[in-house]
Amino acid sequence: MKIILATSNKGKVKEIKELWSEYEVVPYSELIEEFEIVEDAHTFKDNALLKARAVYKALGDKEAIVIADDSGISVDILKGEPGIYSARYAGAGASDKDNLYKLIKSVKDMGVISTPAHYTAAIAIIYKEKEYSVHGWMYGDVINETRGEKGFGYDPMFIPSGYNKTVAELDANIKSKLSHRSKALSLAKVIIESVQL
Ligand code: ITT
């Protein structure tokens, strides 16, 4: 089964390909020219749906199975920031590193070493013009420094509950068991398998 990913984020593509190795997972940019999608909705779910819709429409194939992931990190002490603005926390066009160091600075400015946070992933699925969405979460703490090189985005500063290492220090197979994305993808898989029947 072919699944088309409505994302330009290489970290997401790598993880989704690994988590869904039983499917043929193809980023949409391998099928049509990549285009900008303005993420101006107010929730993870609505942003995921608008990305999936834009790619589904551009492909023009009703039988295509398109999925989009909208995700981010929310820090309690920062009133849930950066949340849906995680990709542009340090401004439009910011790199993963810019966003990471901005969040480290925000945590430091609160005068804490470690503080509760969680990741959210909303996955939208469009197939035969019908829309579905699911969510997954990973809870833990963010710290005021980076540790480790694995993963992407905010992983070097996030310690999952029950662990004493950041996601960037843990083996990728641990992230794949715990992550917001893997939980949402498990639910998405149930939907994809049932609508395919
Ligand atoms: P697409 O919209 O093309 O999918 P994007 O990077 O813009 O790519 P989002 O709008 O969903 O994606 O932003 C997600 C942000 O949250 C981005 O800054 C990521 O680095 C971060 N993020 C999401 N999941 C993450 C994870 O598993 N580990 C680390 N950071 C993550």
* Catalytic, out of 40, 61, 70, 109: 70
The CATH number assigned to the domain holding 190 equals: 3.90.950.10
Nearest CA to ligand 1 atom 16: 72
CA 87 to ligand 1: nearest atom: 18
Cα–Cα distance for residue pair 180/150, rounded to 1 Å:
16
CA 70 to ligand 1: nearest atom: 11
CB 105 within 8 A of CB 128: no
DSSP 8-state assignment for residue 68: E
Cα–Cα distance for residue pair 122/68, rounded to 1 Å:
8
Its domain, for residue 43, covers 2-195
Q: Total structural domains in the chain? A: 1
Q: What is the mean pLDDT of each run of 10 residues along the chain (197 residues)?
A: 95 96 97 96 98 98 96 98 98 96 98 98 96 98 98 97 98 96 98 85
Cα–Cα distance for residue pair 192/180, rounded to 1 Å:
18
SS3 97: helix
Cα–Cα distance for residue pair 42/166, rounded to 1 Å:
29
CB 141 within 8 A of CB 116: yes
Rounded to the nearest 5°, which phi and psi values hold at 196?
Answer: -75, -15
> pLDDT by residue (tens digit) across 9-48?
999 999 999 999 999 999 999 999 999 999 999 999 999 9
- How much distance in Å is there from the Cα of 60 to the middle of ligand 1? 26
Whether 70 is catalytic is yes
Q: What is the pTM of this model?
A: 0.97
